[in-house]
A and B are shown apart, each in its own frame.
Chain A
Amino acid sequence: MATYPRTNIQRIAAILKGFDAANRPRATQRVLGDLGIARSTGFALLRAMVKDGWLERIDHGHVRLGPSARALAFGPIEAQQDRQGSAVAVAVTPGTPAGGTRAEPKGPDLEWDPALIDMADTAGFRIPPPWRIGFSNASQSNAWRKAMVRSIKYARHLRRGEIASLDIRDAQDDPERQCRQIDAMVKRGIDLLMVSTSSATHRRLSDLLNALAKDGLPVVAVDRRPNDRASLVSFVTASDRRIGRTSAVWLAEHLKGQGRVWLLSGIEGTSPAIRRQQAALAVFSEFPGIRIENVRYTRWTPESGAAVIAHLLSEASAPPDGVWCDSGLQGAGSVRHFVDRGLKVPAHTGGELNAMYKLCLHHRVPMVALDYPASMGARALETALNVLMGRDVPRRVEIPLQVVLPRGCETHSVKADAWAECHVAWDTDGDTILSAGPALRTGPGTSNNRRKVPA
């Protein structure tokens, strides 16, 4: 059964969104047909929209988007704001040339992935709401993953009228368990599967997703995907390569191209860990003076970061000059361990976790962070709903990343999009993930908490 917008504001939004990307004129009869209201009232609404410039008449009985809609193109694509809501004034400081020699300086690289504009035709997946959605989550073993789930729940809360059920399963980083959970969800009945895979290379999991896709179940991946992306309608993520590359460039330049570096990656075999590490190693290879002494894996938790660093320090003759972490989830544990041992804390990389910012700023540890956005959970659910509505979606949806640096820590190539001093939330728990979007708030929505998201 078709669902129609019920309020005038919803009807206005529906009319405006009914035009295609080329703004081709639409017959008023068809526009009104989408609204499910009487012709007389519908025409009155269209007349009001034409009068206000949202629509313009083109031909007899045809309208298209008008000048008021055209004005909406003007605007920033990301809000650069500090925590008080005012615009960040990012100082322009002259770059300091890297002291170390870089093997071969390269021109600007747009790091383009054609999947960003490759659209998936989803007409075949269109079914009327309410929808049943399953989310097979790789794990909830760290603060970021919990924040991502909260982000999904926030989006579900907004779209609760269209979602009959959202079944979230925690695979506890076990691909076999994830296969069983997906089987169970499919058996119970779902219209779309969202998945964050616990392994990029696990054959049975990949085969299972391919089989489900072949059977006509739309699959949307978020954060982590299998290496074989043939099963996916869309993949919602952020650029892991940019995280790995930018943080490595910063560390190498901060060390002036000379020094011993330890690498702490996340969970071995997961797609973000693989791509960030590959990108970082490629950068470090351009600096002959940088020596990679250790490459270790953690569980993306402060405890595992501290344990790995403790182990490495017990084996090493001296602390390193820099610790490259692909996330602050383990980075915070590493910094904390150096502090607790009374050692000078080397330069670190890795964001996300509020504790990482608090520690580095408090102890004046040079750091760079690119927060992997937990808000991608909400974007993934939105993409999933677009699939079920039969709207074309990009094969890859990428959430922008910001470079966050403490003042005075910029290097020749890496400049701040935001200052860590403005980004940190001193009055919030260390476990807080700062990139969770609106789900970050305890009472999302309004001051009276009327839209509190269920835990």
Chain B
Amino acid sequence: MTTSGATYGNAVLLFRKGLEAVRAEPPKSARALARRIGAKPTSMQRYVDALEVEGFLARGNDGQIVPGHATRQLGLAARGLGPLTVAAEPILTRLRQATGCTAFLAEIEERRLLIGPYSIGRPIRAHTIFSHYDLDHRPDAETVECHTLRLAEPGPEGRRRMASVVALSSDPASGQVAGVFLPGHGERMPAVTEALLSARDIVRDAIGHGP
């Protein structure tokens, strides 16, 4: 690799390592982030400043560094869910508020559910949200219209969870869904289903997939 190639390679690596570290556990300062990823504190300060301006990083009340909204927007655009970029935050917030459950946008890819942005609901204690879950089977295009999925957490010891999802596109084969993790009992199902269907209608209207 040429000198400039190595320089750019290092910059890209720093970009990745910094974002990964922040996403894994928000550091309290640029200095703490530098310690964690083995970078110079001065470089890391410039890094944090630059990415805070661009919206990739943000500051919490106590100064901790957290992922910014541009991070999620970029991820959604890269997944082809860009038209949902604007709607994702208000939709998921409202879904969570209406159901009390953790709400998410996701894609069904073969026999995997790839989780995107999510809003943390109450019955989440003792649960970690994983970036993907294995499905027993890929739901049929027809049934994913509003469907309860059995999810397996990654790994051999992964626990089973249930989620209810609706297809966001009028073409359910696209695999784009909105859903909520179910709290483990069925008493909220009618309310969850109603909220999901409302969200689906809003999203379809927003991205031009309405009937």
Contact = CB atoms under 8 A, between A and B. Distances in A.
B157 to A, nearest CB: 21
Interface in A57-100: 64-81, 83, 85, 89-92
Nearest to B84: A21
B86 A116 contact: yes
Contacts of B91: 110
A67 B74 CA distance: 11
A76 B114 CA distance: 14
Interface string B28-70: 1111000000000000011101111111101111111011001
B46 to A, nearest CB: 7
B189 interface: no
Nearest to B59: A438
Interface string B151-195: 000000000000000000000000000000001000000110011
Interface residues on B, range: 35 or more
Contact of A108 (B49, B55, B195): B195
A190 interface: no
Contacts of B52: 158
Contacts of B53: 158-159
A41 B115 contact: no
Contact of B82 (A8, A23, A47, A112): A23
A48 B8 contact: yes
Given A10-B50, A73-B81, A382-B55, A52 B125 contact: no
Given A21-B82, A23-B77, A8 B87 contact: no
Contacts of B4: 40-41, 44
Given A16-B74, A117-B206, A382-B55, A85 B131 contact: no
A446 B62 contact: no
Given A9-B15, A79-B26, A70 B122 contact: no
A445 B65 CA distance: 9
Contacts of B85: 21
A74 B11 contact: no
Contact of B76 (A7, A73, A80, A91): A73
Contacts of A400: 89, 93
B119 A107 contact: no
Interface in B98-150: 98-100, 105, 114-120, 122-125, 129, 131
Contacts of A108: 98-99, 191, 194-195, 198
A185 interface: no
B45 A415 contact: no
A73 B79 contact: yes
B87 A117 contact: yes
Contacts of B31: 446-447
A43 to B, nearest CB: 10
Interface string A6-22: 01111011101101111
Contacts of B95: 110
A410 B54 CA distance: 39
Contacts of B70: 17
Interface in A345-403: 382, 394, 398, 400
A8 B11 contact: yes
A109 interface: yes
A374 to B, nearest CB: 11
A126 interface: no
B202 A70 contact: no
B63 A444 contact: yes
B26 A12 contact: no
A119 interface: yes
Nearest to A158: B53
A73 B31 CA distance: 26
A9 B14 contact: yes
Contacts of A72: 19, 67, 71-72, 74-75, 78
A440 interface: yes
Nearest to B30: A446
B190 to A, nearest CB: 8
A452 to B, nearest CB: 12
Contacts of B51: 9, 13
Contacts of B78: 19, 23, 64-67, 69-70, 72-73
B86 A117 contact: yes
Contacts of A90: 122, 124-125
Given A8-B7, A69-B78, A70-B78, A438 B29 contact: no
B98 A110 contact: yes
A324 B189 CA distance: 32
B75 A70 contact: yes
A75 B31 CA distance: 23
Contacts of A79: 26, 60, 66
Given A48-B8, A52-B16, A110-B202, A74 B86 contact: no
Contacts of A119: 86
5 contacts: A9-B50, A23-B78, A70-B79, A77-B72, A437-B61
Given A72-B78, A446-B45, 20 more contacts: A9-B51, A10-B50, A13-B50, A17-B70, A20-B77, A23-B80, A47-B8, A68-B16, A72-B74, A73-B81, A74-B116, A77-B92, A92-B122, A92-B123, A107-B190, A108-B194, A158-B53, A444-B63, A445-B59, A446-B31
Question: 9 shortest A-B CB distances, which residue pairs?
Answer: A21-B82, A73-B75, A72-B75, A438-B59, A108-B98, A8-B11, A65-B78, A69-B78, A73-B116
